[in-house]
Amino acid sequence: MAEEGNAESGDFRDKLRRQSAHWLVLPELFEHFEDYAQDGRVRVIAELNIMFKGGLEAARAAALAVLAAANIDSKRLRQARQTPSKLNLFLSLTLAELRTLDQLKRGRRPDPFPIYKVWADQKLKPFAGKPLRTIKADACLATFNAHGRDIVVAVADSGIDGRHAHFVQYKNLENLPDGLRHCDFSKDGKSHGRSALRDEYGHGTHVAGIIAGSYMAQGEGAVTILRQEHIEDSEHLGDEGETQTIAEHNKSPIELRGVAPEAKLLSLKVLDADGSGYASNLIAALEYVFDLNDSGRKTKVHCLNLSLGYPFEAAWYAAGQSPVCVAVTRLVRSGVVVVAAAGNDGSIMLQPEGAGRAKRIGLAQSINDPGNAEAAITVGSTHGESPHLYGVSYFSSRGPTADGRMKPDLLAPGERILSCSPRSAVERQVRTAPGTRITAESICYREESGTSMAAPHVAGAVAAFLSVQNEFIGRPEEVKKVFMDTCTDLGRTREFQGAGLIDMMRAIQSV
């Protein structure tokens, strides 16, 4: 394959660029095939032509026939047939197979062509107490009984630890209404087994614990807490080595709860044990929720949290028009509030000319997908206790979008957020405080930072809001407007803060 990739001529690349409006296969896949390929194949998303005569079912059948005509092997054809998506086909192709598909399209065989575009299947990554007071969740709980009761929030992430004590009191993961079932999409398929309630990586459990659940540690030492400690002398630890994790036991009774403690959580596992996944896994999960809600006719899942994504590449598609963003938009139009993390690309390490060492430089237009979707509530990060003083977190991705739209939409706490963690995910090297051990009985919580932690504060706030203001169920655009109109201005530029800091009390009182 390496020889084939190197044989790609400059004339061929130039021709692809000149005809960029008409290409079928993303030109980047031809030019940098080896960068995307594993074992000689690259994972792709074949987007079906929605204008095909006979509709999507006819387009799907014709697309499978085209793949067969391109001499795609039987294993990959079977993979395409089993795609859990109505709008796309997921499969892995060689460079020769990509070229054959491209030639079929150029020869207009058939015409119209049933496949609209063939995209790279992007790798996903996670955007990894007192913050509840910062967004006034505690006041809403006391004043409006805003527990999130009877509201379902889906979490597309690395799974949720179904055994964690944080989710026991309110049975957040059990007895889901309307026959809803947790689902695992992380293995290029769909599984309803217990695997969606296992979280080897730990990110999804942490995110879910911010949204819902509660645990009251009555006795001293009942909870093992992993904290992020800043290291002053980080010179020898690399540019990113500024914190280390310390394990300690709680020294007094402590209540740890989510924003909407009684909300039900639907685990949609799209990341594996290493925190890796693909856009196709996420698209399958988004379409699964769309189908659960009967295409918008009955809202069973009210909100979806997306604390993951990938950096947006403007040369590939218009901002907000990637297959993932299209799936998000479709889901919002069906009645689901979609909350997306803005991303953690707000600054990069650069070494200015003449400088002795690299330093952090702010980066505009750094919103990640799926946060580029216009209909999503895209969330940036701020300090958990002093947002007015510290403003927008240095890592939080900034707007505007590549096509000039204002993002992020608003801010929520995302720095050193304490939430639950699977024991298996913390049994790694940590500096343990004297007398502290992580055992089989340990109930673990840990601090994490990122827009991944900011987004679930908003998803929890949406659940709490809908449990009080039921008439807004199934009206996600109006829910977004309510929250944006009632934000607290932190006095930062719109490209950094959006509408400002989320204010739950003001949102509930405004309608």
Residues 6+ apart with CB under 8 A from 88: 45, 46, 47, 48, 280, 283, 323
Q: How far is CA 346 from the centre of its chain?
A: 17
Residue 248 three-state SS: strand
Q: Phi, psi (5° rounding) for residue 146? A: -85, 75
Summarize the chain as % helix, strand, coil (round to 5).
35, 20, 45
* Number of CB atoms found within 10 A of residue 494's CB: 15
Nearest to 248 by CA among 269, 228, 219: 228
By the 8 A CB rule, do 29 and 76 touch? no
| Angstrom distance (rounded) from CA 412 to CA 440 | 34
By the 8 A CB rule, do 136 and 146 touch? no
Q: Rg (Cα) of the chain, in Å, rounded? A: 23
Residue 448 three-state SS: strand
| Angstrom distance (rounded) from CA 177 to CA 115 | 37
By the 8 A CB rule, do 84 and 287 touch? yes
Q: What residues form DSSP beta bridges with 183?
A: 268
Q: What residue type is 200 in one-letter code?
A: E
DSSP conformational letter for 195: G
| Angstrom distance (rounded) from CA 456 to CA 435 | 33
DSSP conformational letter for 177: G
| Angstrom distance (rounded) from CA 395 to CA 414 | 10
What distances in angstroms separate CA 158 from CA 184, 197, 455, one per listed residue? 9, 9, 15
Catalytic residue IDs: 157, 203, 452
Residue listed under structure tokens 């996903």: 124
Nearest to 257 by CA among 338, 172, 372, 197: 172
Positive or negative, the Cα torsion across 227, 230, 233, 234?
positive
Which tokens hold the place of 361? Answer: 């430089």
| Angstrom distance (rounded) from CA 46 to CA 271 | 21
Which tokens hold the place of 260? Answer: 């909407």
Which tokens hold the place of 166? Answer: 């944080």
